[in-house]
């Protein structure tokens, strides 16, 4: 199908006729800005085909405000070698004319012809909607719906398939889908989508279970009913038998008999008890008599005992009396020992006192001598000290001055020597008896003198010679020597000595006296540290003390020379022992005397007692009593004997009758009677209970109910099985129909897939896009990506939508169906790269189909290889 021209008039903004001709068999790019009428052209084409010419729902075609308008569209196209011309006008002039080759169609016929050609439907009433658009809905893409493929494919469904049927040479089954729907609906009444029973079918299953439960309950109740009936039969028989036999009467009889026997035994037991009491009384009397007799006999025994006691007391007194002298002796001895020991202690003390006094005298004498000696020594030392002091006083000399003197003299010596060296030596050897005077000094014999000063020698007879020593320092030496000589002389004068030697001797003596003084002082201190006077006082005191001690000693009596000298401690210990012995002896003596007294007392008492008893024993009343007792006892013994025999006899009798067993028998019979009666009564009660119960249960007609329930169950079962079979059959049928239909669809999918792959390889070289049963693009894979087309981005979905539509177009073309493709501003969401790919695809598709591409972005499509048609320019 190739659209050749489009003419519109009085349609929206095209109030005046507008013609779009020279449409190419391949790609046509029609552009114009917004509001230029681009969309109106698309709407006009759609209206020409889809809207019924007589439709009243096409007001949108009317130019704004022009109620008298008759919007008209004229289309010219070629299909399978024939020229088609469609003229359709709406609203004010409702007409439709179609010329196909030489044939003319008008009104509804024309419209049906068109619908059949393109594969779409008209709405029953109102405006045409997408669900009516069929194949054109798939191939004519409205602005912004390029990605919504699914619905379009669905609406195209049957047209697409019938178109494809011819292609694959199959019959898709006329109305097969209807049958499937009918089967599905019928199955749906019985089964859920997952194959579970529903509705009546499910309810029947429940009803069956319920009925089974009710039946089980009824059966259970019937069983109980029957058990009760059986129980009733058994009880009735037993009750009647018991009622006839009356077994408790036997027991009653036996009970009576046993009671009589038991009473007899009880009487025996009473008699027995009485005799036993009598016997006990006799025994009691005998015991009293025996006591009496014993009492009497006791008297003699007591008398003897008293005698023994008396003897014993006497013996004791004698024994104690015998002990008395020894006891006294012992006391005396102890006392003597004590006194002796006491004496010895006194003696020992005396000796000790004297010894101590003698020692004091001795010590004091020693001390006195010591002090006297010390005193003598002290005085001696005192004298030495005085002498030393005197010595020191005599030789007192300044040690420093002595030193200075020694130095001065040595200097003098040294100066003298020096002066001699430089002095003018004058030696002389004179004839005996000749003499000369030197400076007035007579010189004789031989000699020599050094001259330091101008000297003159007078030679008697001769005159005087003057000598003047030469040398430069002779004068200073002379002066120094003079000064030294002066100093030495002064020092010697001060010290009172004439020479150094004397001075040193004096110093030595001084120092010696000092040492002697120190020594004497120390010696004195050693004997009289406090001085001589205190020492003298001490000595006098020692002397007086000594005197005192001597007086005391002489005043102390001399110890007895004969007495043996015991140590004081020893003597004292002996005294302690003696005192203890004495105390013991005294205590024993005391004890003895006490014993003696009590023995005496006891003897007196025993004597008195014995006397009393002896008197009593001998009394005549007692003899009388003894005889009487003996007689009475004899009588009692005889009576007791006869009673014992009687008791023994009766006791055997009672034992043989077994009263304990008789008593048990009575209880046994009693309880037997009770039990028998109770059992019988209980049975009677149970009988009545069961009868009442059975009457009630019987009235319910359980068996009949069961019968009815079982019938109900069987009906349920029957109906259930019918439905079950039907469900199974429907399930099978639906399964088979679906399978076969799918198999067919799969055969139809193959060619579509082929075309789809063709375009897809351009857009996504490595991708696959599978066609599903509804002939829709479904699973999409690209590398590791796997998903549905619907999950892709908007742009990609739009691209996928377009290539799918192109693939359908290819398929339809192969089936000999018209394939006009109209794209209204499509692929606006594609990037440049994809758009380029899509252009290649469109160009390729345009070699097979006529494509009208409307856009308001001509610049995007300028490399499409076709001249663009500008709507504005055509106006």
Partner 1 sequence: MPRFLHTADWQMGRSYSRFDIEDGAALVEARFAGIEKLAQLANEHQCDAVLVAGDVFDAQTVSDRTIRRVFNATKGFSGPWVMLPGNHDAALAESVWTRALRLGAVPDNVHLALQPGVVALESQGLAILCAPLTQRHTYGDLTEPFSHYETPNGLLRIGLAHGSVQGLLSDDIDATNPIAPDRAEVSRLDYLALGDWHGTKQVNERTWYAGTHEAERFRNNDAGNALIVEIAAPGAVPSVTRVPTGKYQWHQWRETLTVESDLAELLKRLEALPDASVVDLRLDGAITLAGEDRLLDALSVAEARFRSIQCDRSNLQLEPTEDDIAALHADGYVGEVIAELRQQQELQSEEARDALAILAGLLKEREQEAGQ
Q: How many CA atoms within 13 Å lie on the side-chain side of 14?
A: 27
Nearer to partner 1, 162 or 605 (CB): 162
Nearer to partner 1, 183 or 864 (CB): 183
Length of the chain in terms of residues written: 875
- In the complex, minimum distance from the CB of residue 79 to partner 1, in angstroms, rounded to a whole number: 28
Q: For residue 658, which of 383, 254, 258, 198 has the smallest C-alpha distance?
A: 258
How far is Cα 839 from Cα 833, in angstroms, rounded to an integer? 10
Give the CA distances from residue 109 to residues 97, 116, 184, in Å, rounded to whole numbers and listed in that order: 9, 11, 37
Contacts of 113-120 spanning 24+ positions with Cβ under 8 A: 114/49, 114/86, 115/49, 117/1, 117/79, 117/818, 118/49, 118/818, 119/156, 119/159, 119/160, 119/162, 119/163, 119/817, 120/49, 120/50, 120/159
- In the complex, minimum distance from the CB of residue 715 to partner 1, in angstroms, rounded to a whole number: 7
Six-digit token pair at 572? 């004292």
Give the CA distances from residue 438 to residues 55, 450, 461, in Å, rounded to whole numbers and listed in that order: 203, 11, 13
- In the complex, minimum distance from the CB of residue 818 to partner 1, in angstroms, rounded to a whole number: 25
Nearer to partner 1, 685 or 857 (CB): 685
- In the complex, minimum distance from the CB of residue 816 to partner 1, in angstroms, rounded to a whole number: 20
- In the complex, minimum distance from the CB of residue 200 to partner 1, in angstroms, rounded to a whole number: 16
Nearer to partner 1, 604 or 704 (CB): 704
- In the complex, minimum distance from the CB of residue 159 to partner 1, in angstroms, rounded to a whole number: 16
- In the complex, minimum distance from the CB of residue 690 to partner 1, in angstroms, rounded to a whole number: 8
**152: Cβ–Cβ under 8 A, 6 or more apart, which residues?**
130, 133, 137, 138, 805
Q: For residue 453, which of 428, 477, 484, 487 has the smallest C-alpha distance?
A: 477
Nearer to partner 1, 61 or 734 (CB): 734
- In the complex, minimum distance from the CB of residue 836 to partner 1, in angstroms, rounded to a whole number: 44
Nearer to partner 1, 242 or 314 (CB): 242
Give the CA distances from residue 90 to residues 94, 133, 844, in Å, rounded to whole numbers and listed in that order: 5, 19, 37
Q: CA 643, 646, 649, 651 torsion: positive or negative?
A: negative
- In the complex, minimum distance from the CB of residue 205 to partner 1, in angstroms, rounded to a whole number: 18
How far is Cα 231 from Cα 687, in angstroms, rounded to an integer? 9
- What is the contact surface with partner 1 in residues (CB under 8 A)? 170-176, 178-179, 182-183, 186, 222, 225-226, 228-230, 232-233, 235-236, 690-691, 694-695, 697-704, 706-708, 710-715, 718, 725-726, 728-733, 736-737, 740-741, 743-744
Nearer to partner 1, 50 or 201 (CB): 201
For 211, the 3-state DSSP assignment is: helix
Q: For residue 110, which of 140, 76, 85 has the smallest C-alpha distance?
A: 85
Nearer to partner 1, 266 or 717 (CB): 717
Q: For residue 114, which of 135, 86, 94 has the smallest C-alpha distance?
A: 86
DSSP string, 179-194: HHHHHHHHHHHHB-TT
Nearer to partner 1, 548 or 742 (CB): 742
b/e per residue, 467-492, with b = 16+ CB within 10 A?
eebeeeebeebbebbeebeebbeebb
Q: For residue 853, which of 827, 825, 872 has the smallest C-alpha distance?
A: 825
- In the complex, minimum distance from the CB of residue 872 to partner 1, in angstroms, rounded to a whole number: 53
Nearer to partner 1, 144 or 175 (CB): 175
Find the helix or strand (DSSP H, E) in which 436 lies: strand 436-438
Nearer to partner 1, 59 or 227 (CB): 227
Q: For residue 846, which of 823, 829, 815 has the smallest C-alpha distance?
A: 823
Task: Note the Cα 787 to chain centre separation in Å.
Answer: 54
- In the complex, minimum distance from the CB of residue 728 to partner 1, in angstroms, rounded to a whole number: 5
Six-digit token pair at 87? 């003229």
Nearer to partner 1, 81 or 169 (CB): 169
For 711, the 3-state DSSP assignment is: helix
Q: For residue 702, which of 234, 236, 228 has the smallest C-alpha distance?
A: 228
DSSP 8-class letter at 866: S
- In the complex, minimum distance from the CB of residue 208 to partner 1, in angstroms, rounded to a whole number: 13
Nearer to partner 1, 624 or 707 (CB): 707
Nearer to partner 1, 662 or 706 (CB): 706
- In the complex, minimum distance from the CB of residue 695 to partner 1, in angstroms, rounded to a whole number: 7
- In the complex, minimum distance from the CB of residue 160 to partner 1, in angstroms, rounded to a whole number: 16
For 642, the 3-state DSSP assignment is: helix
Nearer to partner 1, 342 or 712 (CB): 712
How far is Cα 61 from Cα 224, in angstroms, rounded to an integer? 89
- In the complex, minimum distance from the CB of residue 195 to partner 1, in angstroms, rounded to a whole number: 14
């Amino acid at each position: 199908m190739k659209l050749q021209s489009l003419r519109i008039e009085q349609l929206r903004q095209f109030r005046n006729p507008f013609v779009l001709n020279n449409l190419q068999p391949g790609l046509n790019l029609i552009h114009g800005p917004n509001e230029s009428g681009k969309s109106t052209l698309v709407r006009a084409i759609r209206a020409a085909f889809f809207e019924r010419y007589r439709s009243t729902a096409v007001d949108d075609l009317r130019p704004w405000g022009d109620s008298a308008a008759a919007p008209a569209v004229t289309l010219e196209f070629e299909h399978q070698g024939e020229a088609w011309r469609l003229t359709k006008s709406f609203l004010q002039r409702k007409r439709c004319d179609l010329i196909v080759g030489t044939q003319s169609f008008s009104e509804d016929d024309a419209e049906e012809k068109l619908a059949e050609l393109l594969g779409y439907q008209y709405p029953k009433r109102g405006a045409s909607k997408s669900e009516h658009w069929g194949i054109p809905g798939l191939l004519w893409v409205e602005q912004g719906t390029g990605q919504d493929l699914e619905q379009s494919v669905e609406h195209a469904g049957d047209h697409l398939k019938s178109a494809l049927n011819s292609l694959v040479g199959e019959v898709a089954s006329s109305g097969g889908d209807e049958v499937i729907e009918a089967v599905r609906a019928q199955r749906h009444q019985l089964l859920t989508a997952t194959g579970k029973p529903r509705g009546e079918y499910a309810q029947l299953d429940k009803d069956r279970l319920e009925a089974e439960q009710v039946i089980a309950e009824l059966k259970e109740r019937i069983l109980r009913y029957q058990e009760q009936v059986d129980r009733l039969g058994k009880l009735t028989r037993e009750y009647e038998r018991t009622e006839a036999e009356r077994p408790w009467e036997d027991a009653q009889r036996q009970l009576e008999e046993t009671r009589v026997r038991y009473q007899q035994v009880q009487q025996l037991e009473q008699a027995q008890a009485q005799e036993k009491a009598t016997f006990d009384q006799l025994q009691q009397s005998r015991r009293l008599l025996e006591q009496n007799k014993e009492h009497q006999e006791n008297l003699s025994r007591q008398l003897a005992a008293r005698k023994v006691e008396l003897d014993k007391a006497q013996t004791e007194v004698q024994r104690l009396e015998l002990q008395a002298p020894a006891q006294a002796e012992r006391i005396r001895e102890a006392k003597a020992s004590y006194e002796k020991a006491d004496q010895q202690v006194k003696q020992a003390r005396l000796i000790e006192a004297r010894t101590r006094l003698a020692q004091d005298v001795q010590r004091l004498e020693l001390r006195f001598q010591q002090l006297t000696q010390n005193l003598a020594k002290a005085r001696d030392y005192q004298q030495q000290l005085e002498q030393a002091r005197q010595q020191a006083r005599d030789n007192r000399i300044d040690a420093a001055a002595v030193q200075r003197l020694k130095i001065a003299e040595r200097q003098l010596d040294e100066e003298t020597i020096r002066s001699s060296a430089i002095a003018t030596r004058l030696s002389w050897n004179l004839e005996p008896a000749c003499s000369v005077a030197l400076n007035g000094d007579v010189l004789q014999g031989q000699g020599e003198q050094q001259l330091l000063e101008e000297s003159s020698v007078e030679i008697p007879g001769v005159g005087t010679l003057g000598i003047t020593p030469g040398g430069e320092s002779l004068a200073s030496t002379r002066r120094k020597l003079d000064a030294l000589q002066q100093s030495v002389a002064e020092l010697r004068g001060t010290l009172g000595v004439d020479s150094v030697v004397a001075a040193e001797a004096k110093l030595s003596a001084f120092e010696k006296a000092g040492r002697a003084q120190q020594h004497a002082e120390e010696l004195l201190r050693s004997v009289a540290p406090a001085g001589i006077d205190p020492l003298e006082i001490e000595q006098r005191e020692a002397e007086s003390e000594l005197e005192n001690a001597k007086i005391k000693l002489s005043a102390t009596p001399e110890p007895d020379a004969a007495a043996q000298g015991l140590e004081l401690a020893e003597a004292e210990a002996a005294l302690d022992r003696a005192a203890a012995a004495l105390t013991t002896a005294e205590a024993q003596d005391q004890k003895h005397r006490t014993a003696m007294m009590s023995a005496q007392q006891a003897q007196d008492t025993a004597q008195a007692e014995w006397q009393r008893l002896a008197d009593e024993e001998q009394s005549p009343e007692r003899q009388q009593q003894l005889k009487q007792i003996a007689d009475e006892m004899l009588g009692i013994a005889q009576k007791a004997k006869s009673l014992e025999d009687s008791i023994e006899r009766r006791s055997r009798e009672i034992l043989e009758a077994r009263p304990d067993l008789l008593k048990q028998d009575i209880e046994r019979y009693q309880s037997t009677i009770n039990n028998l009666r109770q059992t019988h009564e209980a049975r009677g009660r149970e009988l009545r209970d069961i009868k009442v119960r059975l009457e009630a249960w019987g009235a319910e007609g359980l068996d009949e109910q069961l019968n009815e329930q079982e019938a109900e169950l069987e009906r349920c079962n029957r109906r259930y099985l019918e439905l079950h079979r039907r469900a199974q059959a429907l399930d099978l049928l639906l399964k088979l129909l679906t399978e076969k239909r799918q198999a067919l669809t799969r055969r139809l999918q193959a060619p579509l897939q082929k075309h789809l792959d063709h375009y897809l390889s351009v857009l996504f070289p490595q991708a696959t896009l599978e066609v599903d049963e509804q002939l829709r693009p479904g699973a999409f894979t690209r590398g590791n990506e796997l998903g549905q087309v619907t999950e892709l981005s908007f742009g990609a979905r739009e691209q996928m939508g377009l290539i799918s539509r192109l693939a359908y177009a290819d398929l339809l073309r192969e089936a000999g169906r018209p394939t006009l493709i109209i794209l209204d501003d499509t692929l606006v969401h594609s990037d440049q790269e994809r758009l380029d790919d899509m252009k290649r695809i469109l160009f390729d598709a345009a070699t097979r189909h006529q494509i009208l591409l409307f856009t308001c972005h001509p610049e995007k499509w300028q490399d499409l290889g076709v001249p663009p048609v500008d709507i504005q320019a055509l106006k």
